[in-house]
Amino acid sequence: MAVTIKDVAALAGVSPSTVSRVCNDNPAISRKTKEKVRRAMAELRYEAPLTAGTQSGQRLRLIGTVLPPSLRAAYENPLYLEILRGISQFCNQRQYAAALVTGQDEDEVLRSLRAARQSGQLEGIILLYSKTGDAIVEYLCETGTLYVVIGKADQLPGQTICIDNDNLLAGREATDYLWSLGHRRIAYLGCGSAYLYSADRKSGYQLSLLQHGLPVRPEYCLELEEREDSGALRALLELEERPTAAVVSDDLYAVALERTCMQAGLSVPKDLSIISFNNSPFAQITSFQLTTVDINSFQLGFEAASQLINHVENPDLLATKIIVPHRIVERSSCQRMTAI
């Protein structure tokens, strides 16, 4: 079996990203660490592939940012624009260049990442999402590429730099807010649980229901791969015991839910109160203004760039996990129940 960069890292007692930077003769790596890694490489007879950067000696300090693979959904969500603004601001302060890596599927993103690595200019990657079983994360681990996840780490949690919100707490607080307004039939709408933030928000929603002595009703929980699934949304609104309120994991999903309400002859918040997440521009330009959980998207991006660049320049730092605070922004999409 061929020796991998992970094998070298394990023998040398360092991270795969440190091995990668030793192979590129990164000046930020101490001589002692370089010697230790090179001894491990020699013992295992590992031959590192040359990159354009190592051959030419010229390096551009480049940070890659990766959107979730998507045909169009990721490009439509202003959440990512605000995160990117935070990343760019910090990169500009430290004189790093930020490049966007996108693709309609994982294979296309992986091709772009391979090209970036071969240039020898890539210092690290910021993933703007986190999901289970991600082939892109597997590739970054296998190649020893330094990376930061905005969200919860699914692989190697103790060795992964993470910038996240407390989505479990946020989901619970959003549901508590609806409960405080007198709602007892509360639904949850989110994307698939493969995306860890949505899974945590759903868990927080369920925890709140249980703490308030309310049943967790499967028919009230919708996880949609496509937010425009009007059939599933319509079925929720046509239940005999229709929910009076909903926790929605993203403002865009809330807009889709509101549109379905209009088609069903229901109004927000009179017939259905909605609290959503992200505090995007959509929260304020709908026919009603969304009550929403502001997750501080700009700060998520700023902290991600800060942590990545700090680890680039100080390779011996331990992996960190930073929790960015959230807050509920009250607007007009929720109202108190007059009767239960």
Strand pairing class (186-190; 221-223): parallel
Percent over 70 (pLDDT), the chain: 93
Q: Determine which helix (DSSP H) or strand (DSSP E) holds 149, and give its type and residue range.
A: strand 147-150
Longest Cα–Cα distance in the chain = 75
The reported pLDDT for the residue numbered 52 is: 44
The reported pLDDT for the residue numbered 29 is: 80
Strand pairing class (291-294; 327-329): antiparallel
The reported pLDDT for the residue numbered 307 is: 97
Q: What's the rounded mean pLDDT across residues 8-12?
A: 84
Quick one: 19 exposed, middle or buried, by C-beta within 10 A (0-12, 13-18, 19+)?
buried
Percent over 90 (pLDDT), the chain: 65
Q: Which of 28-32, 232-236, 296-300 has the lowest mean pLDDT?
A: 28-32
Band the pLDDT of 109: cuts 50, 70, 90. Answer: very high
Q: What's CA 173's distance to the chain center, in Å?
A: 20
Residues 326 and 300: their CA atoms lie apart, in Å, by 11
All domains in the chain, ordered by first residue: 1-49 (1.10.260.40), 56-165+298-325 (3.40.50.2300), 167-294 (3.40.50.2300)
Closest of 113, 94, 201 to residue 151, by C-alpha: 201
The reported pLDDT for the residue numbered 119 is: 77
The reported pLDDT for the residue numbered 106 is: 93
Instruction: For 39-55, write each residue's pLDDT tens digit.
Output: 888 777 787 664 544 44
pLDDT at 88 > cutoff 80: yes
Q: What's the rounded mean pLDDT across residues 66-70?
A: 91
Residues 227 and 109: their CA atoms lie apart, in Å, by 23
b/e per residue, 39-60, with b = 16+ CB within 10 A? ebbeeeebebeebebeeeeebe
The reported pLDDT for the residue numbered 118 is: 83
Instruction: For 69-84, write each residue's pLDDT tens digit.
Output: 886 777 788 999 999 9
The reported pLDDT for the residue numbered 54 is: 43
* Average confidence score pLDDT of the chain: 89
The reported pLDDT for the residue numbered 17 is: 77
Residues 146 and 160: their CA atoms lie apart, in Å, by 9
Q: How many residues does the chain have?
A: 340
Task: Order across the sheet with 62-66: list the strands.
Answer: 97-101, 62-66, 122-127, 147-150, 161-164, 321-323
Closest of 245, 132, 138, 143 to residue 184, by C-alpha: 245
Q: 105 — phi, psi (to 5°)? A: -150, 175
Q: What's the rounded mean pLDDT across residues 298-322?
A: 95
Instruction: For 177-202, write each residue's pLDDT tens digit.
Output: 999 999 999 999 998 778 899 999 99
Band the pLDDT of 26: cuts 50, 70, 90. Answer: confident
Asked if 163 and 302 touch (Cβ cutoff 8 Å), the reply is no
The reported pLDDT for the residue numbered 53 is: 45
The reported pLDDT for the residue numbered 315 is: 87
The reported pLDDT for the residue numbered 56 is: 42
Instruction: For 322-340, write each residue's pLDDT tens digit.
Output: 999 999 999 999 999 976 5
Q: Which of 58-72, 290-304, 325-339 has the lowest mean pLDDT?
A: 58-72
Band the pLDDT of 233: cuts 50, 70, 90. Answer: very high
Residues 243 and 183: their CA atoms lie apart, in Å, by 9
**Ramachandran bin of 64, using left for φ above 0, alpha for ψ from -120 to 50, beta for the remaining angles:** beta
Q: What's the rounded mean pLDDT across residues 30-34?
A: 81
Band the pLDDT of 58: cuts 50, 70, 90. Answer: very low
DSSP lists the bridge partners of residue 186 as 245
